[in-house]
């Protein structure tokens, strides 16, 4: 007990010192008054520690009184507009961490302390993010994060709802929400990088990054440019091939993370072959024109509607495949690859989840993903023809080649 007590106290002390140091450093760099620094935060952490350690329980009334005493100066300053609310909130968090440590939960306290420090030090990055995203994109981001923060714990603790709905069942609400957040995070990261680099870095780089966000939307945007400016068709063709390549990479990453290294290793050789074909097509293209200052129209993936759209398609594919296994065997699962015409990512995520739950085998998952990628490549031709028939015809040969090779590898993987 003595060792736990010492470690708990030192953890509370360290969190207080680190948080206070961050606040003082921030004040010096921003030129803002430092109301609470190293000493204040350290005392607050110690106060929280003794609040629970001495009484060996959480005394609600005493805790409220102590918090009011701790916050009286920062709150008065905040209400007068002299400082923001961040310091006051940070004091509450550090006091709570001290209480956790006083209860002997020093690991939990250390984790919360690290999260608190990360949030406090992220101001510069969040401001930069706000600078490159418009108001609508930021509102969508906030709504998505808020909804995910509510749904994740609810779906995790809900448990069994129906004999088909619940943890490990045909429909697992928690895994569906978790998959939406995971896939959207990959897309959002690429979206931010694309916004930061901008069109000034070249159309090819933008096209590659846009493929991680939404390859179909990127293809449509590029095809529209081809209809307006036929002289750019050669470069736009390369851009669509690149966005299709990043689509392949994104799906392989998703299915490998969800299903594990076993399925990822089975997909390694097919991916190398498909990317090799794409590189060959890019190398053999005679058009070397570098195009800049063309924005690709892809939307922020961290918004409610794209998330719901992906979630609905993911739920449909997973449920359809789950039922097909019992009715038609593996052949029913292969049929779900048709959804690759709409979203290859949904197919890849579904196959990864079905494999991880033992519903299907690795070979079935790999074959279905490869068939979906084949159809996803063909869909780029259909999208391009819709806007620019000549560009679609130029894309037909490389995309059909990718589709045929991917289908053959899916067949030999059976």
pTM: 0.67
SS3 161: coil
| Average pLDDT estimate for 307-321 | 79
Q: What is the pLDDT of residue 128?
A: 60
- In 103-245 the beta strands, taken as DSSP E runs, fall at none
Q: What is the dihedral of CA 140, 146, 150, 153, to 10 degrees?
A: 100
Mean pLDDT of 188-207: 68
Q: Where are the alpha helices (DSSP H) in 292-361?
A: 304-327, 330-335, 344-356
Q: What is the mean pLDDT of residues 327-344?
A: 79
Strand (E) or helix (H) holding 296: none
Q: In this model, does residue 62 exceed pLDDT 50? A: yes
Which has the minimum average pLDDT: 56-70, 165-179, 239-253, 259-273?
56-70
Residue bearing the bigger pLDDT, 80 or 21: 21
pLDDT on residue 406 = 92
Confidence of residue 408 (pLDDT cuts 50, 70, 90): very high
Strand partners, 171: 165
Angle (CA) 305-137-246 rounded to 5° is: 75
- Partnered with residue 361 across adjacent β-strands are none
Average pLDDT of the segment spanning 220-245? 82
Residue 242 in contact with residue 248, Cβ under 8 Å?
no
The pairs formed by 199-203 with CB atoms below 8 angstroms and a separation of 24 or more are 199/292, 199/293, 199/294, 199/295, 199/296, 200/292, 200/293, 201/292, 202/290, 202/291, 202/292, 203/235, 203/236, 203/239, 203/290, 203/291, 203/292, 203/294, 203/296
| Partners of 162 in beta bridges | 165
Do residues 167 and 160 make contact, with C-beta atoms less than 8 angstroms apart?
Answer: yes
Mean pLDDT of 277-306: 65
Sequence-distant (≥ 6) Cβ neighbours of residue 146 within 8 angstroms: none
Q: Are 173 and 164 in contact (CB under 8 A)?
A: no
Q: Find the helix packing angle between 304-327 and 173-197, rounded to 10°.
A: 130
Could you tell me where the beta strands, DSSP code E, fall in 88-224? none
Task: Record the tokens describing residue 270, joined without a space.
Answer: 């097919």
> How high is the pLDDT of residue 256?
86
DSSP for 90-128, written as a single string: HHHHHHHHHHHHHTT-HHHHHHHHHHHHHHHTTHHHHHH
SS3 content of the chain, % helix, strand, coil (to 5): 80, 0, 20
DSSP string over 331-343:
HHHHHGGGGGGT-
Q: Tens digit of pLDDT for each residue in 71-126? A: 665 665 555 555 556 677 777 788 888 888 888 888 888 888 888 777 777 666 66
Q: Assess contact for 130 and 109: CB atoms under 8 A.
A: no
Which positions ≥6 away from 278 have C-beta within 8 Å?
241, 242, 244, 245, 248, 398, 402
Cα dihedral across residues 57, 8, 93, 155: positive or negative? negative
Environment class of residue 286 by beta-carbon count within 10 Å: exposed (0-12), middle (13-18) or buried (19+)? exposed
Mean of all residue pLDDT scores within the chain: 76
Q: What are residue 283's DSSP bridge partners?
A: none
pLDDT digits (tens, 9 = 90+) for 272-285: 999 998 888 887 76
Burial pattern 69-78, b for ≥16 Cβ within 10 A else e, equals ebbebbbebb
């Amino acid at each position: 007990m003595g060792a736990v007590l010492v470690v708990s106290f030192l953890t509370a002390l360290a969190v207080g010192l680190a948080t206070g140091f961050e606040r003082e450093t921030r004040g010096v760099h921003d030129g803002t008054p430092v109301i609470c620094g190293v000493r204040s935060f350290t005392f607050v952490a110690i106060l929280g520690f003794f609040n629970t350690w001495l009484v060996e329980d959480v005394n609600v009334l005493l805790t409220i009184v102590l918090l009011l005493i701790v916050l009286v100066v920062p709150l008065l300053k905040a209400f007068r507009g002299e400082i923001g609310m961040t310091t006051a909130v940070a004091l509450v968090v550090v006091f709570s961490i001290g209480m956790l440590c006083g209860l002997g939960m020093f690991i939990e306290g250390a984790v919360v302390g690290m999260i608190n420090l990360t949030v406090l030090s992220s101001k510069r990055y969040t401001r930069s993010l706000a600078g490159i995203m418009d108001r609508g994109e930021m509102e969508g981001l906030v709504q998505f994060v808020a909804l995910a923060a509510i749904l994740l714990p609810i779906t995790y603790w809900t448990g069994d709802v129906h004999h088909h709905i619940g943890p490990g069942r045909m429909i697992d609400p928690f895994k569906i929400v978790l998959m939406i957040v995971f896939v959207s995070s990959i897309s959002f990261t690429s979206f931010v990088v694309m916004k930061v680099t901008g069109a000034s870095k070249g159309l090819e780089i933008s096209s590659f990054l846009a493929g991680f966000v939404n390859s179909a939307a990127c293809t449509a945007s590029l095809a529209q440019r081809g209809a307006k400016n036929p002289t750019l068709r050669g470069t736009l063709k390369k851009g669509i091939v690149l966005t299709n390549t990043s689509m392949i990479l994104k799906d392989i990453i998703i299915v490998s993370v969800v299903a594990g290294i076993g399925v990822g290793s089975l997909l390694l050789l097919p991916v190398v072959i498909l990317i090799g074909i794409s590189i060959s097509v890019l190398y053999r293209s005679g058009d070397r024109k570098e195009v800049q200052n063309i924005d690709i129209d892809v939307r922020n993936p961290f918004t409610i509607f794209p998330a719901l759209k992906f979630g609905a398609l993911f739920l449909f594919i997973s449920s359809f495949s789950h039922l097909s296994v019992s009715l038609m065997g593996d052949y029913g699962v292969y049929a779900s690859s048709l959804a690759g015409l709409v979203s290859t990512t949904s197919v890849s995520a579904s196959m990864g989840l079905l494999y991880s739950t033992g519903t299907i085998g690795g070979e079935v998952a790999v074959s279905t993903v490869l068939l979906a990628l084949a159809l996803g490549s063909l869909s780029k031709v259909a999208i391009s023809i819709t806007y620019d028939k000549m560009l679609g015809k130029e894309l037909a040969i490389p995309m059909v080649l990718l589709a045929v090779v991917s289908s053959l590898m899916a067949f030999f993987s059976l």
